[in-house]
A and B are shown apart, each in its own frame.
Chain A
Amino acid sequence: MPTIDYQKIAKEIRKKILKMMYEARTAHVSSCLSCVDILTVLYFKILKMDSKNPLAENRDRFILSKGHAVAALYAILSKSGFFPEEVLETYCRNGEKLPGHSTRDTVPGIEVSTGSLGHGLSMGVGLALAAKKDGKDYRTFVLISDGECEIGSTWEAALFSSHHKLDNLIAIVDHNKLQAFGRVEDILNLKPLNEKWKSFGWAVREIDGHDFSEIERVLSEIPYEKGKPNVVIAHTIKGKGVSFMEDKFEWHYLSLTKKQYEQALKELS
């Protein structure tokens, strides 16, 4: 059993996300909620980084390739001490610095700018390759969406990573099975996703992306096979934690009304 109370932290993160997105009237709330539990374990247990020294040379790198879930990353970074909580209030406000997609040089802890899907894994490959070339032992984690598994550039990066034996690279697929306009299997089917990654030469693990013990265990066992890049297919629920959002694709777009916001908070309390 994990020694950290992930449940409590994740609930708090979810509330912060809802507050930011309700106040800013922004979309992508369900995309944020599906990856909160993964981010919680990463930032409170797995990633070797120091919020007081965010540019330490040998820190683990984390790339949020699904940059539209950046509200979740802001919340988790502030909770882990990278910047004060008040900064979250500037999210998507005119004249402020926190945009709706992950952007480097906005707040400490954001390594890379993303937003257009399919870019994060290749940048992660570059970081992982540099570590190998320099004999450094930092690891590079890239969180990608299942929609990104439809993009050619993701598979170019996948081919390169296994060819160059980047076992210091970890892709985590936030596999919530919904994309912007419906079910992944109805729009551009990815099944069998596990075999696809395997056939590209990656060591694959599949987990319940909301089971903290499982997330912690699997992310603590890296590398899974020497010389192979690692991918964790995390089965998640889009909108996880808020009943009326769970597994509903329209919450990729909608922003919360006051009533909905209050109900969501009640559910999380």
Chain B
Amino acid sequence: MRTAFINTLTELAQKDKNIYLLTSDVGFSVVEGFIQKFPSRFINCGVAEQNIVGMAAGLALAGKKPYIYSIIPFIIFRCLEQLRNDICYQNLDVKIVATGAGFTYGTLGFTHFALEDIGILRAIPNMTVLCPADPPETRELILKSYQTKNPTFIRLYKGGEKTVYNFSPNIEIGKPSILKEGKDGVIIAIGLCVGMGMEVVDKLRESGYNFKLISLHTLKPIDNGALLAELKDSKAIFTLEEHSIMGGLGSAMAEILMESGYKGIFKIFGIPDKYFSETGSAQYLQRKCGLSTEEIINHILSKIHR
């Protein structure tokens, strides 16, 4: 995803001289290609994240198109007020592309996890929140968000993600992307959980159930009409995310479904609202939180068994 991001941004920067890439002393083995091509439009601002966000606002006010590249906890949690007041309140064209979604930095521990970012940013007016599933979706979302002038957060993992799109995706900000069709239930996922959702859907098919799989890459704004049209007649909906069960994809879906009068089965798979005493890899921590193909399938089968 990081490579898809930087390659796409480098392509865009070739045509648009207003694109600037700002980092907070991160990006080793990611941003070098951009630096080589556009040295004067790359600024390593040092470990001074609050200044980067404010400065990006200033650059945008002067007509530039700044992209901030950083790690989620440092640029989102530390700079929340700068994001809220300087960027979103003034509705400026600043894109924040950050890595470390969920448990990406597993063994580095809790300070490096990003489990609350979607919940926090969804609550800020003007902010667009994007969470791509794989490198092709990342590329499409970078291209589509480039065309907008809104503050945008793009939530990435670290690298080496599997490609879930085996077709050329037609991705629109705000619209759900359909990866599999099915009438027995729906799985809505974001980020790497879309890949997990794909495995779940394939295994459910072996048990005789055809599930629809949706990547809800845009957590905000959501085109409710387009989404509800995809959920029409569904009686079982499951959400998958590597984010706290508070405020993320599941919460957003619960808000939409309750207001729509949905009365079917609904379950949020995500990260519980607590700190972890154990250390471990991202995959280990996901499993501890019930984010594993087997657990999800067992739960779904127990709910929908006919």
- Residues on A lying within 8 angstroms of B by beta carbon are 104, 111-116, 118-119, 121-131, 133-134, 152-153, 156-157, 159-160, 163
State how many angstroms separate the Cβ of B45 from the closest Cβ of chain A.
6
Task: Give CA–CA (A152, B85) in the complex, Å.
Answer: 17
Residues of B within 8 A of A156 (CB): 46, 48, 50-51
Proximity string of chain B (66-103) to chain A, C-beta cutoff 8 Å, 1 when within and 0 when not = 10000000000000011001100110000000000000
Shortest beta-carbon contacts, A-B, top 10:
A126-B58, A122-B54, A130-B62, A156-B51, A156-B48, A153-B50, A126-B55, A123-B58, A126-B59, A127-B58
Contacts of A112 in B (CB 8 A): 57-58, 61, 90
If over half of A's interface residues share one DSSP class (helix, strand or loop), that class is named, otherwise mixed; here it is helix
Cβ–Cβ < 8 Å partners of A114 in chain B: 85
In the bound complex, residues from chain A placing their C-beta under 8 Å from that of B89 are: 113
Establish whether residues B50 and A123, one from each chain, have CB atoms under 8 Å apart when the complex forms.
no
Q: Is B201 an interface residue (CB 8 A)?
A: no
Number of interface residues of B (CB under 8 A): 26
Query: Are A130 and B54 in contact, with the CB atoms below 8 A?
Result: no
24 residue pairs of the A-B complex, CB under 8 angstroms, read A111-B61, A112-B57, A112-B58, A112-B61, A112-B90, A119-B81, A122-B50, A122-B51, A122-B57, A124-B58, A126-B54, A126-B55, A127-B58, A127-B61, A128-B58, A129-B58, A129-B59, A133-B40, A153-B51, A156-B50, A156-B51, A157-B54, A159-B48, A160-B55
Establish whether residues B90 and A104, one from each chain, have CB atoms under 8 Å apart when the complex forms.
yes
Indicate if B200 sits at the interface (CB-CB under 8 A): no
- In the complex with contacts A116-B81, A123-B86, A125-B51, A130-B58 CB distance below 8 A: yes
B82 nearest CB across to chain A (Å): 7
Closest B residue, CB atoms, query A121: B54
Contact indicator B50/A152 (Cβ below 8 Å): yes
CB within 8 A of B62: which of A115, A121, A127, A160?
A127
Which chain B positions have C-beta within 8 A of A116?
A: 81, 85
Q: Please give the distance in Å from B203's CB to the nearest CB on chain A.
A: 50
B61, A123: Cβ atoms closer than 8 Å: yes
Instruction: Tell me which of A124, A153, A160 contacts B46 (CB under 8 A).
Output: A160
The minimal Cβ–Cβ distance linking B84 to chain A, given in whole angstroms, is 9
The residues of A that contact B66 with a CB separation of less than 8 Å are: 126
How far apart are B252's CB and chain A's nearest CB, in angstroms? 28
B89 to chain A, nearest CB (A): 5
A123, B62: Cβ atoms closer than 8 Å: no
Does B240 make an interface contact (CB < 8 A)?
Answer: no
Q: Report yes or no: A159 in contact with B46, Cβ–Cβ below 8 A.
A: yes
